Amino acid sequence: MIELPDDELDKLFRKSSEELDPTYEPDDWNDLRKRLDQQDGRTPAAWWRKWWPLGVLALLIPAGIVLYSYEGENGGKEEGGRNVDLKKDENGGTEERSSGRDVVEGKSGSTSEVVREPGGAAEGATKEDAIVDNGTPAVDKETAAVDNGNRRVESDNGVVDKGNAVVDKRNESVGNSGKVADNTKTNIGGKLKSGSKATGKSSSKSELNAAVVNGGKLLPRSRSKAGGVYLEPNRSKVEGGDGALSITNNANAKGGETSMPQATGQPIGASESVTKVDELGRTLISASALNSKALKWNALQLPGISEPVQELAEAPAPEKPPLPADDQPLMAIRFGYSPDLSTVGLKNFSKPGTAVSLLVEYSVLPRLFLQSGAVWSRKDYYAPASAYKLPKIPHYYPPEMTGVDGICNVLEVPINIRYDIKSGARSRWFASGGFSSYHMNSEKYKYYFVDENDPDIWYRSWKGKTGWYWLSHANVSVGYEYRISKKLSLLAEPSIRMPLKRVGYGKVNLITTGLWLSVRYTPVFK
Amino acid sequence: MPEYNSAVLQELLDGCLQKNRRSQELLYKQFYGYAMSICLRYTRSREEAKEILNDGFLKVFTKLDSFDAGRPFKTWLSRIMINTALDHYRQEVRRDVFDDVEVAEQVSVDETVISKLSHDELVGLIQRLTPAYRLVFSLSVIDGYTHEEIAEQLNISVGASKSNLSRAREKLREMLSKINIDDYDRVAR
């Protein structure tokens, strides 16, 4: 046992501890650097962990739009012709709101609710019945007339029956859709409330009677999806009007003037029912008076109604017209942005640079495009000393380096082939590959040495440009394209550029990855 | 600028604040020996020391903005390393992963290397102490902590701290007695 006093022992170990100088182990730093990279999001995995929400968003938004469109298209298929009619009525209703209804309100001081009966024998019950039925949206209104209290009306005067025949001729599916709508019992009260501020007493009886007594002259009418049929302004030439929107005129002129059905895209000639309406003297009906009773249909005490009023489903929003899937672009222009993750050896990622592109695509085969253009990018990377070849300077032997930081502005000219793997009406999956030539516009390098204080260090950085490197990289990418219109689409395209030859002042093998987010414009189709 | 933080060091620290990897590497390299020597005397192996060293440097890089540039960086660094080592020790105690105390005591110095006794071996002797002895000895003798501070740091009594220090010295003497006195003299010079 060594008999050392405490202070001597302490001195011995203190001295050893203070003078101990463990040798530097580069692996220790590498371990720490990995941890720092993970923490700062500089590894590919960490980068994706950091940016995946943006990537997911970039994919989910078009996917959501596609899904929405797909469901919309399916809905249209399921309900068949009904949708067609609904569209017509909706358009008609819109048009009518902007014209006839206002005028009627101006004339009568309140929203007119008129039942027009050619035979002049419109009973109160019939009128009220029709009013209630017309309180339902658009086509369903007529359907309700078919499905609900129609027999009662028929027994009274048979007028509505004729009207029904008209409806049926226009579209037989109306009746079916009405049934469907009856089952849904969607509340339409709110819609009615918002349809017009003028509520209250109906003047339909008096106006109808006047019309009937005066020889059954028909006032023009139009239908509203908000509920009811409204009088249109008297624009009949016969009656001193300008003739516009006159159903009679339209019927006689066979499409010579604009009418509601024509405005919705239905040719007048084909719309015999409209003509027939006039010949039969169909009744104009409005249900605006029910606005104040919107949510209490069943409590409405109307004479002649024995069955509960069915609340009908609200017409769906107009469906987006599908894009033609067989449109084959001949030429397209793409503008894109991508983060530029450049590295030497798929590690040592530093902060992402920026890349923008302007590309032109030309279709050489139905699914095959030739793609070229220009890509400007700023590449920010670190290269270990072993990957960077410092140009030799005569009679100069630079000290040992640890690495190089590089910031390069690069103009890239790619020549790629794009192949559409899968195409839908609005979406495409594609892959592309090709070669790129790099033009080093500007290069900045900062050198790091093992001994930063070495007097043999002549220079610590380099600035300049080294020009073209033809076909220096191979490009591979896959992408998803979503068409937002016939000519315009959005693309998300992860890509990688692999070095085929060394580039730049230090002749590095530069690898670049990124995610292109592009807008594609197709001005010319085949 | 404080004279104990040179311009070069200040430049490195500025680079580290901007998360410049090269500046971090250079700072790491510059203080590697100093920090590792601290870590070694608080651990029983180089691997463990490396773990603490990198944990400590990670703290340095992530909390550099809290460093007061008016104080010596070395002092701040050593405090971080010691605290990291103590955190590590507390975690080990919680997990109860230490070897039996006697195992460490039974480790003897290889007689064949006595003639090569150096700072490494002397620090190696500290590493061979049990964790409780090693920490108290390092904190008290090498890093200058008082027994009150040690007691607070290790959550033990002041008496236990003094006792551990005394026993640590005794163990070190035992281990040194196995080493040729000439070699000891050479090292102690």
| CATH code of A360's domain | 2.40.160.20
In this predicted model, what pLDDT tens digit does every residue of B71-107 receive, in sequence order? 889 899 999 999 999 988 888 776 655 544 444 444 4
What SS3 class is residue A502?
Answer: coil
Instruction: Report the distance separating Cα A128 and Cα A290, nearest Å.
Output: 11
Asked if residue A240 has pLDDT above 90, the reply is: no
Instruction: Give the residue-averaged pLDDT of A203-218.
Output: 48
User: Which of A293, A310, A339 is at the close of a domain?
Assistant: A293
Task: Give the pLDDT score at A139.
Answer: 40
Residue A328 CB-density burial (10 A; 0-12 exposed, 13-18 middle, 19+ buried): middle
Instruction: Report the distance separating Cα B156 and Cα B159, nearest Å.
Output: 8
Domain assignment of residue A5, yes or no: no
- Mark yes or no for CB contact A29/B25 under 8 Å: yes
Q: Are residues A282 and A394 in the same domain?
A: no
What SS3 class is residue A138?
Answer: helix
- Mark yes or no for CB contact B26/A448 under 8 Å: yes
CA distance A363 to chain B (A): 46
Q: Are residues A237 and A354 in the same domain?
A: no
Q: Are residues A275 and A346 in the same domain?
A: no
CB atoms within 10 A of CB B75: 10
Q: How do the domains of chain B map onto residue ranges?
A: 1-97, 101-189
Domain assignment of residue A315, yes or no: no
Instruction: Report the residue from B21, B53, B141 with minimal CB separation from A33.
Output: B21
The residue among A449 and A128 whose pLDDT is bigger is A449
Q: Which chain A positions have a beta carbon within 8 Å of B57's beta carbon?
A: 32
Query: Which residues does A77 contact at the CB level (< 8 Å), separation at least 6?
Result: none
Domain assignment of residue A190, yes or no: yes
Instruction: Report the distance separating Cα B146 and Cα B131, nearest Å.
Output: 18
Nearest to A81 by CA among A167, A182, A173, A147: A173
Nearest to A401 by CA among A427, A375, A418, A383: A383
pLDDT class for A432, splitting at 50, 70, 90?
very high
pLDDT class for A471, splitting at 50, 70, 90?
very high
Q: Fill in the DSSP letter of residue A508.
A: B
Task: Give the pLDDT score at B164.
Answer: 92
The pTM assigned to this predicted structure is 0.37
Instruction: Report the distance separating Cα A171 and Cα A348, nearest Å.
Output: 69
The tokens describing A162, both together, are: 């004729």
Task: Give the pLDDT score at A411.
Answer: 95
Cα A114 to chain centroid distance, Å, stands at: 42
Identity of the residue numbered B170: E
Q: Which chain A positions have a beta carbon within 8 Å of B54's beta carbon?
A: 28, 31-32, 35
H/E/C letters for each residue in A326-348?
CCCEEEEEEEEEEEEEEECCCCC
% pLDDT > 70, chain B: 79
pLDDT mean across residues, chain A: 66
Instruction: Report the residue from A13, A28, A33 with minimal CB separation from B142.
Output: A13
Number of domains in chain A: 2
CATH number for B101-189: choose from 1.10.10.10, 3.20.20.70, 3.30.430.20, 3.40.50.150: 1.10.10.10
Helix (H) or strand (E) holding B89: helix B73-95
Instruction: Report the distance separating Cα B15 and Cα B9, nearest Å.
Output: 10
Task: Give the pLDDT score at A204.
Answer: 45
Instruction: Report the distance separating Cα A487 and Cα A520, nearest Å.
Output: 8
Per the CB < 8 A criterion, the answer to whether A332 and A432 are in contact is no
Q: Fill in the DSSP letter of residue B141.
A: I
Q: Which ranges in chain B belong to alpha helices (H)?
A: 7-17, 21-42, 46-62, 73-95, 101-106, 119-128, 131-137, 147-154, 158-177, 181-188
Q: Which chain A positions have a beta carbon within 8 Å of B40's beta carbon?
A: 20, 22
Partnered with residue A488 across adjacent β-strands are A521
Residue A426 CB-density burial (10 A; 0-12 exposed, 13-18 middle, 19+ buried): buried
Least confident of A8-22, A265-279, A506-520, B128-142: A265-279
Task: Give the pLDDT score at A468.
Answer: 93
Q: Are residues A483 and A339 in the same domain?
A: yes
Residue A281, Ramachandran bin (φ over 0: left; ψ between -120 and 50: alpha; else beta): left
Q: Which chain A positions have a beta carbon within 8 Å of B50's beta carbon?
A: 25, 28, 31
Q: Are residues A383 and A281 in the same domain?
A: no
Instruction: Report the distance separating Cα A297 and Cα A291, nearest Å.
Output: 10
User: Which of A293, A310, A337 is at the close of a domain?
Assistant: A293
Per the CB < 8 A criterion, the answer to whether A319 and A73 are in contact is yes
Q: Does B165 touch chain A (CB under 8 A)?
A: no
Task: Give the pLDDT score at A127.
Answer: 42
Query: Which residues does B57 contact at the CB level (< 8 Å), separation at least 6?
Result: A32, B28, B35
The residue of chain B with its CA nearest to that of A2 is: B177
Instruction: Report the residue from A1, A16, A35 with minimal CB separation from B54.
Output: A35
Q: Are residues A198 and A265 in the same domain?
A: yes
Nearest to A414 by CA among A338, A460, A360: A360
Fold of B1-97: Rna Polymerase Sigma Factor; Chain: A (1.10.1740)
Domain range enclosing A288: 82-293
Least confident of A8-22, A173-187, A359-373, A403-417: A173-187
Q: Torsion angle, CA of A187/A191/A194/A198, rounded to 10 degrees?
A: -90
User: Which of A240, A271, A293 is at the close of a domain?
Assistant: A293
- Mark yes or no for CB contact A452/B8 under 8 Å: yes
Per the CB < 8 A criterion, the answer to whether B118 and A15 are in contact is no
Instruction: Report the distance separating Cα A360 and Cα A415, nearest Å.
Output: 10
Task: Give the pLDDT score at B161.
Answer: 92
The tokens describing A441, both together, are: 């516009």
The residue of chain A with its CA nearest to that of B179 is: A2
Domain assignment of residue A308, yes or no: no
**Among residues 121-140 of chain B, which lie with CB inside 8 Å of chain A?**
122-123, 125-126, 137-138
Per the CB < 8 A criterion, the answer to whether A443 and A504 are in contact is yes
- Mark yes or no for CB contact A4/B173 under 8 Å: yes
The tokens describing A297, both together, are: 């249909």
The answer to whether domain B1-97 and domain B101-189 are alike in fold is: no
Best probe of the B interface among A1, A2, A453, by most B CBs < 10 A, is A2
CA distance to A12, A135, A218, B137, B188, per residue, from A9 (Å): 5, 105, 121, 11, 9
pLDDT class for A383, splitting at 50, 70, 90?
confident
- Note whether ipTM > 0.90 here: no
CA distance B179 to chain A (A): 9
CA distance A401 to chain B (A): 12
Identity of the residue numbered A17: S
Per the CB < 8 A criterion, the answer to whether B77 and B31 are in contact is yes
